Structure 1
Amino acid sequence: MEKIRKIQSVTQFNVERNQRVLHPLVSVLDQSQSAPVQAGRWLSELYLVFLKHARCAPLIYGRQHYDYGEGTMLFVAPGQVFGVEEAEGEQVQPTGWALAFHPDLIRGTPLGQHIKDYSFFGYEANEALHLSDREQDLVVDCLRKIGEELTHPIDKHSKQLLVSHIELLLKYCGRFYERQFITRDHVHKDVLVKFESILADYFGSDKPQTLGLPTVGYCAEELHLSANYFGDLVKKETGLSAQEYIQARVIDLAKERLFDLSKSVSEIAYEMGFKYPQHFTRLFKQRVGQSPNHYRLN
């Protein structure tokens, strides 16, 4: 079985690429100036942001493969596995840029409190960010500014300035992802159609009785998307979270089934995947404004 190595510190990240360590908690590398790396997989304990300028070896991210084109970005959060796929023991020369920062750098800062809002850290490799030339220039400018700050001796301003530059970079990336959602709107509408089909098939089977209500994770997996990307896609297209969208479809189906007076509200709740009928009643009342019993009698 292939051994998964760990990236535990910024120092390790730099040393393995034969680069000087300018700060113990953050680093920006011009990958073309770094030493080749051995193909394999790593478990990151750092936040990593990769920008690729040119096509290079296929990248492994989780269980997926991605053959990078020009101007693409990938984001790795602590606890995620990534790597480069080549022949065993093969040396690979990285290209582009890499930003690495330890969670301790942002701890206690506004960015640390809101880092989870940058949901693209949970996207899969096939959901990478593709940049225009202008967008790529802005990203590189942000990375250069972080690099320039690292050349200054560490003082009381260093942490705030570094974190501010990183946050600006992530905000730009969030904006660019929103643009990507818009430019791929036709693809995303196809995803919503498939999403509806998955829900219809789910409730047309015995899965609600065996698995319970469909989850966001289940639907995302059926669509071959990460839960984060799927959730962001649904939100951009419908204005609802993926969970709210599922609940809306559950209530629509429940309204139809409530017209079958041969079944009690509890029986309908169990058939639809609710473990407890009172949970169904509570959700229905929140969504419709009246209880299931009142609804079927009106």
Structure 2
Amino acid sequence: MQHFKTLSAYLDYLELPRPEHPMLSVFSAIGDGFLPCPKESSPPITNDCYSISLKKIVKGNLNYGRTKYDFTNGALIFIAPRQVLQWDESVVYDQKGFSINFHEDFLKGTELAHQIKKYSFFSYSANEALHLSPKEEKQIESIVENIDIEYQNNQDEFSKDIIISQLSTLLKYANRFYERQFLNRKELSNDLLEQFNNHLSEYFESGYFEEHGIPGIEQIAEQLSVSQRYLSDTLKKETGKTSTEHLQLYLINEAKNILLNPNKTISEVAYELGFEYPPYFSRLFKKKEGISPSAYREKYKLN
């Protein structure tokens, strides 16, 4: 897989103009201009840059999870260094919007270098972009205009601090708007939880747990066509529990049913649920229920 260590090399590959700054590029078509068109398709590649882009689709569809959504109001997409990128010619973007790319070293020695790693939306898939309302889009565009002014002007000793300050503001607004999106997509969140539990049930009923062990969250997220981080964030916002906590809740609920069968030992129950070590199952059960599996069985045994 091809990897680009510098911003210039990455932009050259995309067939885009070289940057005004060796570690920062700003392409903006908020007014009357148009964004330059990158190459139409690419095999998987990686680079050492962050990317923040506002895109509008004029042809083709992108999925948000398993559901198609209208991107005509703009989709804000965040990409972190070393994420695998790949695209083809099936999706055509309007040449409006903006694209900000900056090398991770551009942030060295700044507070944003640490803060940016806390923004989970940089871990989301492109199909989990931030969908902006027209009002939100204007707010983001005003910040980008300030960044573009500093970028296009003759840069001085204050330019970098001003640009980083504006980038920090942009990310804070994005974080706020993602909170709004999670709240507005309550129905999607509920559907995601239902799909999550359905997949666990299918795994369990097929004997997958006992044969292969407990499936990982990343594996389940892949089956749901979302990223691991997005799955956990969505469930956390809606239910107060992370995907790992929901997985544990499912396991404990199944354990309660199996424990009522007096013919199975505690170890057999643990193995059936995919636990490699029965003592870990017992500790988790007691942590969640306040009593041990054997005590639970004794308390609720069938007469």
Alignment TM class, shorter chain as reference: 0.7 to 0.9
1:107 corresponds to = 108
Where does the alignment leave 5 or more consecutive residues of structure 1 unmatched? none
1:1-298 to 2 correspondences below 5 Å: 6-12=3-9, 16-19=15-18, 21-30=19-28, 32-33=33-34, 35-41=36-42, 42-53=45-56, 55=58, 69-86=72-89, 94-150=95-151, 151-155=153-157, 157-298=158-299
In structure 2, relative to structure 1, the CA distance for the partners of 1:57 and 1:5 (3 Å cut) is: farther
Q: TM-score w.r.t. structure 1 length?
A: 0.84
CA distance in 1, matches of 2:86, 2:93: 11
Displacement after TM superposition at 1:68 (Å): 5.4
CA distance in 1, matches of 2:178, 2:277: 39
Judge conservation of contact 1:39–1:92 (CA < 8 Å) in 2: no
Runs (4+) of structure 1 exceeding 6 A deviation are: 57-60
Q: TM-score w.r.t. structure 2 length?
A: 0.83
CA distance in 2, matches of 1:7, 1:55: 29
Supply the RMSD in Å over aligned alpha carbons.
2.9
Displacement after TM superposition at 1:122 (Å): 2.1
Which amino acid in the other structure matches residue 144 of structure 1? E
CA distance in 1, matches of 2:216, 2:112: 29
Q: Secondary structure at the match of 2:280?
A: helix
Displacement after TM superposition at 1:136 (Å): 0.6
Q: Could you give the per-residue CA deviations for residues 18-77 of structure 1, whole angstroms, max 9, x where no partner exists?
A: 25x3322222212555543322224332111111246267789xxxx9995341121111
Displacement after TM superposition at 1:14 (Å): 5.5
Displacement after TM superposition at 1:159 (Å): 3.9
Q: Could you give the per-residue CA deviations for residues 254-273 of structure 1, whole angstroms, max 9, x where no partner exists?
A: 12222222111111111100
In structure 2, relative to structure 1, the CA distance for the partners of 1:191 and 1:59 (3 Å cut) is: closer
Displacement after TM superposition at 1:111 (Å): 2.5
**Greater shift in the superposed pair: 39-48 or 130-139:** 39-48
In structure 2, relative to structure 1, the CA distance for the partners of 1:35 and 1:252 (3 Å cut) is: closer
CA distance in 1, matches of 2:150, 2:7: 16
Judge conservation of contact 2:53–2:77 (CA < 8 Å) in 1: yes
Judge conservation of contact 1:10–1:102 (CA < 8 Å) in 2: yes
In structure 2, relative to structure 1, the CA distance for the partners of 1:39 and 1:83 (3 Å cut) is: farther
In structure 2, relative to structure 1, the CA distance for the partners of 1:33 and 1:213 (3 Å cut) is: same
In structure 2, relative to structure 1, the CA distance for the partners of 1:5 and 1:266 (3 Å cut) is: closer
Which amino acid in the other structure matches residue 37 of structure 1? P
Q: Secondary structure at the match of 2:58?
A: coil
**Greater shift in the superposed pair: 28-37 or 197-206:** 28-37
In structure 2, relative to structure 1, the CA distance for the partners of 1:263 and 1:49 (3 Å cut) is: same
Q: Secondary structure at the match of 1:189?
A: helix
Where does the alignment leave 5 or more consecutive residues of structure 2 unmatched? none
